[in-house]
């Protein structure tokens, strides 16, 4: 990797100011993602601004819900008793991610900012519309078993790798962002751009904006939530498909639901049709099957990843059944 400068910021504001003022600067939190970008030539910042010691690692509980510091490590949040009891989808998604060592290093903020694991994106000698617009997408005529089945554009069929983001989408979380012009909140739904946009654009962040926290409302659904990750080996692998679901059942019928899929699109993918299929009905075989079907109704797979449609259908059904069994 190229030589670069390093500075440990004194405050979130100072960090944001440093990066905002220097187009070649970048934040580093846990380091687990950006170091690989540097080694593989996916990024070459001249300055790294360390935001790992800014006290942004608190896990705070209030009546309204949870506030997670962006610098909190995945393992610490997953281990938190309150999180485990009240936000099972969150704890499970975090523990399904990466490995114990990486979870001890990686921050929540960094997790949300992971870039796709698309093999063609990750190796700069491949053409890639996401890296260099207009160069083409080798996934279309190459191996694309891991690629998108929902919401892909003609230019890019990469998928987002985060488990955490999928869980947060099912929890209506909000991302707190700090920039030189102050703070703003972005709904997780809006944090990741939709299809049709420039594939280079991966988040709603502007250069120099720092994720400082994540707000998770407690709401009626969080406690009855679940996460399932389907992967090719027993542990330590990215998702083929993952499902986060949170369901509110009142007097025997579903009053509200959130269902999000991971590993299927360029962003965590909420499936409203699947949620709607549950509303007003008992969480039982019929509604669950309808929801699973609805979840993949819009799927548009490539020849080599049709199997993901079947997994997604099965995984939605499985998560909802498990939530139903837990009551």
Partner 1 sequence: MTSVGTPVPRVDGLLKATGTARYTADIPFEDLTHAVLLQATIARGRIASIDASAAEAAPGVLLVLTHLNAPRLPRMRAFAKGGSAQQTVPALQDDRVRFAGETVAFVVAESQEQARYAAMLISVEYDEEPPAVGLHGDAYPPAKVNGQPPDYRRGDAERALADAAVTVERTYRTPVHHHNPIEPPVTIASWDDDGGLTVHEAAQGGVHMMRLGFAEALGIPRRKAGSIRVVSKFLGGGFGGKGFMWPRNILPAVAARLLGRPVKLELTRAQMYTSGGYRSETVQRLRLGADRDGRLGSIVHESTSTGSDMGEFPEPCAQITQMLYACPNVTGTHRLVRQNVGVPTFTRAPGEGPGSFALESALDELAGELSLDPLELRLRNYAETDPEHDRPWSSKGLRECYSEGAERFGWSARNPEPGSMRDGRWLVGYGMATAAYSSHTWPTFARVRIRADGTAVVRCATTDIGTGTYTVMAQVAADALGVRPGDVTFEAGDTRYPFAFPPVSSSGARSIGPAVRAAALAVRTRVARLAVKDRESPLFGADAATVRAIGGGRLARADDPERYDTFVDVLERAGLGHVEERKGYGVMPFLHSTASGIAPWPVGPLLRVATRPFAGRYSTYDFGAQFVEVRVDPDLGVVRVSRVVGVYDIGRVLNPRTARNQAVGGITWGIGMALMERTTTHPRLGKYTSPNLSGYLLPTNADVPDIDVHFLDRPDPLVNPLGVKGVGELPVVGVAAAIANAVHHATGKRVRSLPIGPAELLG
Partner 2 sequence: MIEVVPSEGGVVPAAVEVGLVVNGEARRLVVEPRVTLLDALRERLGLTGAKKGCDHGECGACTVLVDDRRIYSCTTLAVMQEGRRVTTVEGLGTPESPHPVQAAFVEHDGMQCGMCTPGQVVSAVALIAEGHAGSEDEIREWMSGNLCRCAAYPGIVAAVRAAAGGAS
Q: Which does 141 bind (CB under 5 to 8 A by kind): partner 1, partner 2, none?
A: partner 1
Structure tokens given for 123: 């190796």
Q: Does residue 81 bind partner 2 (CB under 8 A)?
A: no
Q: Spell out a b/e string for 282-313, using b for 16 or more CB atoms within 10 Å of the CB, else e.
A: ebeeebbebbbebbbeebebbeebeebbebbb
Burial class (CB in 10 A: 0-12, 13-18, 19+), 33: buried
User: Which pair of structure tokens corresponds to residue 202?
Assistant: 């991966």
Q: How, if at all, do strands 174-179 and 225-230 pair? A: unpaired
Q: 162-221: which residues touch partner 1 (CB under 8 A)?
A: none
Nearer to partner 2, 102 or 119 (CB): 102
Nearer to partner 1, 2 or 81 (CB): 2
35 binds partner 2 per the rule CB under 8 A: yes
Region binding partner 1 by CB under 8 A among candidate stretches 19-27, 73-81, 118-126, 218-226: 118-126
Q: Say how many residues make up the chain.
A: 327
Angle between helices 285-295 and 307-326 (to 10 degrees): 150
**Residues 31-50 within binding reach of partner 1 (CB under 8 A):** 41
Segment interacting with partner 1, rule: CB under 8 A, options 20-28, 56-64, 79-87, 135-143? 135-143
Interacting residue ranges for partner 2, rule: CB under 8 A: 1-10, 28, 30-32, 35-36, 38-39, 46-48, 50, 52, 75, 98-102, 104-105, 234-236
**Which residues bind to partner 1, rule: CB under 8 A?**
1-3, 41, 117, 119-120, 123, 125-126, 138, 141-143, 145, 230, 232-238, 240, 304-308, 310-311, 313-315, 317-318
């Amino acid at each position: 990797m190229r030589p670069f400068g390093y500075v440990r910021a004194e405050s979130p504001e100072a960090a944001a100011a440093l990066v905002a003022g220097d187009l070649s600067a970048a934040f580093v939190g846990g380091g687990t993602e950006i170091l690989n970008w540097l080694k593989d030539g996916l990024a070459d910042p001249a300055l790294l601004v360390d935001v790992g010691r800014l006290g942004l690692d608190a896990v705070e509980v209030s009546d309204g819900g949870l506030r997670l510091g962006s610098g909190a490590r995945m393992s610490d949040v997953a281990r938190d008793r309150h999180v485990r009891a009240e936000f099972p989808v969150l704890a499970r998604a975090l523990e399904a991610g990466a490995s114990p060592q990486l979870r001890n290093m990686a921050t929540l903020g960094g997790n949300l900012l992971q870039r796709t694991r698309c093999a063609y994106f990750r190796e700069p000698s491949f053409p890639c519309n996401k890296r260099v617009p207009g160069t083409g997408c080798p996934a279309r005529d190459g191996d694309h078993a891991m690629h998108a089945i929902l919401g892909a554009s003609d230019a890019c069929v990469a998928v987002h790798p985060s488990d955490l983001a999928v869980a947060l989408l099912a929890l209506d979380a909000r991302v707190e962002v700090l920039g030189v012009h102050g703070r703003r909140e972005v709904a997780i739904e809006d944090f990741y751009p939709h299809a049709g946009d420039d594939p280079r654009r991966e988040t709603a962040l502007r250069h120099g904006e720092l994720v400082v926290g994540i707000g998770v409302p407690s709401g009626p659904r969080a406690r009855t939530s679940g996460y399932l990750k389907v992967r090719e080996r027993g542990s330590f692998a990215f998702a083929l498909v993952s499902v986060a679901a949170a369901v509110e059942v009142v007097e025997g019928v579903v009053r509200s639901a959130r269902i999000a899929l991971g590993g299927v699109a360029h962003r965590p993918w909420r499936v409203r049709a699947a949620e709607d299929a549950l509303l007003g009905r008992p969480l039982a075989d019929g509604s669950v099957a309808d929801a699973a079907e609805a979840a993949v109704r819009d799927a548009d797979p490539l020849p080599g990843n049709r199997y993901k449609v079947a997994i997604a259908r099965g995984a939605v059904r499985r998560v909802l059944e498990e939530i139903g069994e837990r009551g």
